[in-house]
Each structure stands twice: as C-alpha cells, then as structure tokens.
Structure 1
Amino acid sequence: MGDINMEIGAAPELAFINKAQIRVDASYQRPLKEKRVKQILRDFSWKQFGTLMVVDQGDGSYTVYDGQHRHAAACRHPGIIEVPAAIVTLDQAYEEAQSFLGVNINRSAISTVEKYWAGIEAGDEKMMQICSVLEDAGCEVVPPGTKSPGPNRTSSISAIQRSIERYGDWAVTEACKTIVAAWPRDNAALSGVVIQSLARLFKNNRKVIDRERMVMKLVGKDRKILAADAEALKRIGGGDAAVSLAKVLVEIYNKSLQSNQIQIGAKG
C-alpha cells in the first residue's frame, strides 16, 4: 500500500449553496477569461456544470478553488440561485491554493482539450500561455463537452504547445492568423500540422517573411491537396508531415519572388 495515499482527509459535504455566498480568493486565482465565461453561458446545462469545489470560511461564505469560471457564469445566469458544491474545510489560504492547483493535476484518461480547460481553471502556466497566444490570433480552443468546430477553433493542444516551445509565441500567433485569413470557412484549418509548419517558417524567416503574401498565396488553395502534396514529399524524402508541408509552403511562397525568399530552416 506504499503507493497509495491513505491520509485522504475528511470527506467533503455535498450541498446546494446560494451563488451569492461564494467568492473568489484573488490572492491565488488567475483573472477570469471572459471568453470562457461567455462560452459556458452560451452552452449552459446542468448536465455539463458539474460540482464546484469550495472552502467553508466559517462565516457563512465560501471560496471556490475549482470551478471559478463556472461560478462566474452561474452568477450571471438569471435562472440560477443555487449551485451544487462539494464543501471542504482547510486550515489556511496556502492549503486552499495547493488544492486549487492539485485538483486538476490528479485526473487521467481525459483528452488534451479537457486537460487544457482543466489547466486554465488551475492557472497552469503552459495552458495560460497557449490561451494567450490563441487570443492574440483571434482564435480559441474548442470548448469542452461540445462539438463546436469553427475556422477559428482548434483542438490541437499538443501541437500548439510544441510549436510555442520550439518557435515562440510570435511565430505561433502569426501562423494562426495566417491560417484563419487564408481559410476562413475551413472548420478544420487550425490543425496541428499546419500550425507547426507555418510557425517554423515564421520563426526561421522573421526578417523577410510577409504574412500578407503567405495569405495571398494560400487563398483559394485546397488545404487537403496541400496536405496530399506534403504526404507525397514525405514518402519520397522521409521526415514528418510538418516538415514536408513546410517544404511545400516554401515553394508556394517563393514562386515568382526574386528577393526575400524564405527557407525552411532549422526545426528549433
């Protein structure tokens, strides 16, 4: 039993609590993501709401450490007075903050999108960075529990995280802006392969690459055909799909260009 924590503490009390009695402790919670609150309101359903994790403050009030955005949405919803909550008692604010961070870490068998939104709730630095980069590009991650594709929505969390680590925030933002502008009606355009390919080109050609030119060259081109061309290159020369697509994009961009041509460059 050495690998099992037996000091699990007291079981939480389950109850419905008036939403006005619940507040957020700003000392450790991250600022609300307004888009996230609005998305919850648009898709509000008790079936998706779940249970808030709150701390009894002993004075008739509670602080929420898991479910901040759901609580904010409930507070704005005119049809809701009480919300379901699991009530725990903690000794100090530090313990509360640790619970806030740990509650989403110890969950498994969830999708990368679910991990992303859990990370946003927990203030995870990497997930917040992804959110910031996408917001700068006018994009967002597909909301959890919904099938809401859109030309500015993505579920490619792992690919975006890798791209940020390899190529930086600016390159990924430029890549996403390019994709949305080039294929405004393509609900699957923000795929991991395309994001990684373009981010690589923006990072390695920052001084010469022109996003407007890249958009102009891609408008009207079928993204699926580009992917097929990249796959053919991959079969011939090996490598991964993102590298092959980057080579295709370089050829398209440089066509008829006499100067300031771009190169595929290092992977990062």
Structure 2
Amino acid sequence: MRPIEPVKGGVTPPEHFGPVPELRWLAISQLVVDETYQREIGGPGKTNVRAIASNFSWMKFAPVVVCPVQGGAYAIVDGQHRTTAALTIGIDSVPCLIIQADRKQQAESFRAINAGTVKVNRLAIYRASRAAGDPEALAIDAASRAGGVTIVASYMASKDLKPGETMASGTVGKCLAQYGRDLTVLALKTIVTSESEQGGALQAKIIAAVAAVLYDNPAWREDARLTGAFKNIDLAGEMEEAFFKAKKPGAAKAADLLYCAIVRHLDAALRRKAIA
C-alpha cells in the first residue's frame, strides 16, 4: 500500500473552501427533492433504483449529499436514487454529508457532482445549470422561450412531446454558439409553425438541419413567406424518410438528406433557385 501524496505544480487553491460539511445519519422522512434542478425518477431511473435495491450493500452506499432547507428538512443534492432504493427495502435512515448552500449553490453542486457521470442525462445537467444561473443555460432557456419552445424536464418518447416541446437543450446551445441568437430563435419558430397537434418535430437533428438551411440561405430568412412555407413541411416525416434512405448502400448521411429535403420544400415554396 502507498500513502496519498499531493500533486506538485499546476494548482492554484481557491481563497475559500466554503463551510465545512458535517457527516450525520438522517431519517429518510427528513429528506426532500428540489424539483427546480432535479428530475422525477422515471422509467430508466426506476430500473436503476430496483437494481440498487436488489443488490443493496452498505459497502456500496456513498453518503447522500444534502443541504438543510426550511421546515427542518434536507434537500438531496446527490443521492436521490440510492436513497429511494434504501427506502424501498425498508431502511429508514441513511448516512448524509450535510453541506451549507442556498438553492443556486445546491444546483451548482448537483451539476458539479453529476456532470461527469453517465447516469445523469444532459437534460438534468441543463436544468441544474439553469437553476445555478449558468450563462449558457440561461441563454438556451431565453432563446427557446423566444422561439415559442419549452424544454421538457426529462426524456420521453418523441411521440409524447406536445407541440412546442423539445428535449434538445444541447442542440439549441450548439446553434446559439454556431449561428447566433436571432437565427436560432427563427429556426425554432419555423419548426413550431410546422408542427401539427401531435408535436414531435423539435428533435435535435431537425433543429440542426433547419438552422443550417437558414444559415446557408440568408435571403430566405428575410422572406415574409418563410413561416407559411414551413406550415406545409412534415419535418418529422422528412426525418424518418431521411433515416430510411440513409440505410441503403452508398446513400448519403441522414442529416444531409434531411437538409436537402428542407431545401427542396423551401425552394418550391419561395420560388428560389434550388441548391444542388
């Protein structure tokens, strides 16, 4: 065995480390979940909880990170799934690491703890980042709202998305970085226009394709008929068709096929020369 040794060089310690945390066993009945930055335990999450519960061992149980909130309760910053698993098999208290933080700091802690883990999805990280006041997340939220779009709280089947709903927070962020706010908002607005009562068009690949088409065709962005043109495009259907065609030997990538399909529709509607 070897002792722990510090890493030499390349480290500038922060001026303050924050309040020292406390380790304590707490009753699960005292623990709550702040839905501002944490999602409800859905299908995959429940599968994870069942797996933890079925193979429960204190040797595998890391202390739950919590923070005191009003009413004598403690908000779980990290450990919702393992705490739920413990309760599921009749355990009524768990070891906790108690930190002192306001809601914004709690969300930042959640993001910092979970950003590098596969088990926490991008939507959860986005929600935590937004709650923590992260500028990029706030910009994504603002652009989405301006485009008439709501970023849902957790993943679901595309067919279950209502009109104006999307899971593609990451794609909106990429579009903002690549094309700017105005074009991103316009792309979202046009996609919302194209949606039927079922929704489902605000998928990542569709958002990326529409934004790319509008970027490559600046004249179309200024055309008053653009919104009306999108009303006649079944974007979700075009995406399915693109994926089907892409499976054929020697076919182009689905993203390129979708891009070309959108160009053809807009070219016909706006009477512009088609792009090869």
TM-score bracket relative to the smaller structure: 0.5 to 0.7
For the 8 Å contact 1:55–1:65, the answer to whether it is kept is no
1:164 maps to amino acid: L
> 2: CA distance between counterparts of 1:111 and 1:171?
27
Find the counterpart in structure 2 of residue 117 from structure 1. 127
Which residue of the other structure, out of 155, 165, 168, is the alignment partner of 2:177? 165
Which residue of the other structure, out of 193, 209, 218, is the alignment partner of 1:197? 209
> 1: CA distance between counterparts of 2:246 and 2:156?
36
Which residue of the other structure, out of 147, 154, 159, is the alignment partner of 2:166? 154
> Which whole-Å deviations, capped at 9, do the CAs of 1:141-178 have from their partners, x for residues lacking one?
11238886211111123333333332222222111111
For the 8 Å contact 1:167–1:203, the answer to whether it is kept is yes
For the 8 Å contact 1:104–1:118, the answer to whether it is kept is no
Find the counterpart in structure 2 of residue 138 from structure 1. 148
Which residue of the other structure, out of 252, 255, 263, is the alignment partner of 2:265? 252
Query: TM (normalized to structure 2)?
Result: 0.57
Matches within 5 A, 1:229-240: 229-231=241-243, 232=245, 235=248, 238-240=251-253
Q: CA RMSD in A?
A: 5.1
1:125 maps to amino acid: P
Find the counterpart in structure 2 of residue 214 from structure 1. 226
For the 8 Å contact 1:230–1:245, the answer to whether it is kept is yes
Find the counterpart in structure 1 of residue 238 from structure 2. 226
Partner SS for 1:54: strand
> 2: CA distance between counterparts of 1:98 and 1:110?
14
Partner SS for 2:218: coil
2:198 maps to amino acid: D
Alpha-carbon distance, 1:13 to partner: 6.1
Bigger drift between 132-141 and 180-189 goes to 180-189
Aligned CA distance change for structure 1 residues 102 and 235 (closer, same or farther; 3 Å) = same
Alpha-carbon distance, 1:200 to partner: 0.9
> 1: CA distance between counterparts of 2:203 and 2:107?
35
> 2: CA distance between counterparts of 1:225 and 1:144?
24
> 2: CA distance between counterparts of 1:145 and 1:189?
15
> 2: CA distance between counterparts of 1:192 and 1:140?
14
Bigger drift between 240-249 and 192-201 goes to 240-249
Partner SS for 2:67: strand
> 2: CA distance between counterparts of 1:160 and 1:12?
41
Alpha-carbon distance, 1:183 to partner: 1.4
The percent of aligned pairs where both chains have the same amino acid is: 20
> Which whole-Å deviations, capped at 9, do the CAs of 1:215-261 have from their partners, x for residues lacking one?
322324433442355343785874432322121111111126555x5
Alpha-carbon distance, 1:131 to partner: 1.4
> 2: CA distance between counterparts of 1:234 and 1:172?
29
Structure 2: segments with no counterpart, 5+ residues: 5-19, 41-45, 47-63, 79-95
Alignment coverage as a number of residue pairs: 220
Aligned CA distance change for structure 1 residues 254 and 99 (closer, same or farther; 3 Å) = closer
Structure 1: segments with no counterpart, 5+ residues: 20-32, 41-46, 68-85
Alpha-carbon distance, 1:210 to partner: 4.2
1:163 maps to amino acid: C
Alpha-carbon distance, 1:133 to partner: 1.4
Aligned CA distance change for structure 1 residues 250 and 234 (closer, same or farther; 3 Å) = farther
Find the counterpart in structure 2 of residue 54 from structure 1. 67
> 1: CA distance between counterparts of 2:174 and 2:117?
22
Partner SS for 1:247: helix
For the 8 Å contact 2:123–2:155, the answer to whether it is kept is no
Partner SS for 1:110: coil
